[in-house]
Chains A and B, each alone.
Chain A
Amino acid sequence: MSRGRGSRVRLPAPVLGLAVVALLFFALPLIGLLWRAPWSNAWGYLTEGDARAALRLSLICSLWATLLSVVFGVPLAWLLARVEFPGRGAVRALCTLSMVLPPVVGGVALFFALGRRGLVGQYLDRWFDVRLPFTTAGVVVAQTFVAMPFLIITVEAALRQLDQRVEDASRTLGASPWYTFRRVTLPAIRPALVAGAVLAWARALGEFGATITFAGNFPGTTQTMPLAVYLALESNPEQAIVLALLLIAISFAVLVGLRDRWFGRSDRSSTTVLA
């Protein structure tokens, strides 16, 4: 891991070749979109119909999903990394299940759990008059369900790599476990925490299948950008391309911006490779 910009790394030619292929693989579809985009009336497409409401909803919901992923995901990652208990491997697999589950199936599973006839949802409905399907809260639930594993995995890996003697030292110096967690553990894993949160946010922003299944599609309430793009493909493919490019541009700006802001320029080591 070389630090500083002066040092030159010599890449073996085959590695460089494969890297370029990988880069093209990601760049070409984007270039394809740019190539087919109707530039002359792009602005018209952006302001047409429900596009702005969808963008607003996407940003709000994905930020909520990220916040919930951090609030609940960090403690869970800590539990998985630090506490030995029987069946930990199975629990860890369970926490990442929604990454491999086809999102549409995830949406149906959320119905079975939180729908008005679901395991828990029927009581939410009966006792508290709370219904999640077809609401904005339902969008946040669906996005959190698919996004949180990205945060858990990233943070857990960082916690495992962290030298526990630092935490032990904090405690032997009289700090409470909560103080140690806040002032020693969390700062030490900050890059991984930010990386995990950004990954979770990106996943939430692009979420489609679980959202359209569990929360449905209604402009202003549950229609996020990916849903708006998909529906625009039915009637107005050119608008769909413009909306998709806007979504990409925003994510790109955030990913690049965060990288400079949080990871600095010299710190390009190990787990924080992103964007």
Chain B
Amino acid sequence: MLSVVGASCGSDEKGAAATSTGDVTVFAAASLTAAFTEIGDAFMAANPDAKVTFNFAASSELVTQIGEGAPADVFASADMGNMRKLTDAGNNATAPQVFATNSLAIIVNPGNPKGIVGVADLADENLILVVCAPEVPCGKYAAQIFESAGVTVTPKSLEENVKAVVSKVTLGEADAGIVYTTDVKAAGAKAAGVEIPADINVVAEYPIAVTKEAANVRGAQAFIDFVNGAQAQKILASCGFLAP
């Protein structure tokens, strides 16, 4: 939605890997925008004859697009549920592999003016809280967190994607939201984060697979291998992702 995502997460690793060929089209979850853009550049630097094109959108939208015949070679999802939708429809060529995990955090205005220290503070009815809708992964995770914490909240809005939650907080219209740790990092100085303790937090797994209709299977597999490699994992870590 808004340009809350920087193009880079600050890693400046250089390196080389095996060579691969051709155009690779990668359909990736919106939360991977910064990390995958950088990984794509590194992949093309290591494979001068390769060209990576990205389509970033909500994982569920990408599954629908692939199901309708969109030309994807690789699909990287922000949750297992949407990857399962793809594999249930038989639209994958390789078994999904988890390449990263993400945790959730509370995003607040810079300087944390409302003094939020934990999930329990979000129950305040005077607080303008926005979370993702239960239909999308970040909303499902937020609901799980509130349940584990035993906290009842009254959100003002159930956003259709996590970036919409981020922009409502960075624009100052909302006081707090539940987003991925990586989103807090990507928002930079426009927002601050409050950690959610591990015992009530959720580990979101990011799986990746070659699609059934892939036009460039070799290139697709090379890209996935690259994502699992040391250089790409370092970029993912610099964006706030955790190892699988």
Contacts and interface: CB of A to CB of B under 8 A. Distances in A.
Question: Do the two shown chains form a genuine complex with each other?
Answer: yes
B64 interface: yes
Nearest to B130: A216
B136 A108 contact: no
Given A134-B128, A234-B58, A217 B173 contact: no
A217 B171 contact: no
Contacts of A104: 1
Contact of A231 (B135, B168, B172): B135
B157 A117 contact: no
Interface stretch (B25-33, B87-95, B158-166, B182-190): B158-166
A217 B158 contact: yes
Given A104-B1, A108-B2, A231-B133, A218 B173 contact: no
Nearest to A121: B173
A235 B82 CA distance: 10
A216 B136 contact: no
Contact of A216 (B1, B135, B159, B172): B159
B155 interface: yes
A216 B133 contact: no
What class of interface size applies to chain A in its complex with B?
20 to 34
Nearest to A107: B1
Interface string B132-168: 0101100000000000000000011111100010011
A133 B158 contact: no
B102 interface: no
Contact of B173 (A116, A219, A232, A233): A116
Contact of A115 (B157, B158, B159, B172): B172
A218 B158 contact: yes
B228 to A, nearest CB: 28
Interface of B: 1-2, 58, 60-61, 64, 128, 130, 133, 135-136, 155-160, 164, 167-168, 171-173
Interface of A: 104, 108, 111, 115-117, 133-134, 212-213, 215-219, 222-223, 227, 230-235, 237
7 contacts: A108-B167, A116-B173, A134-B156, A222-B157, A231-B133, A233-B64, A237-B64
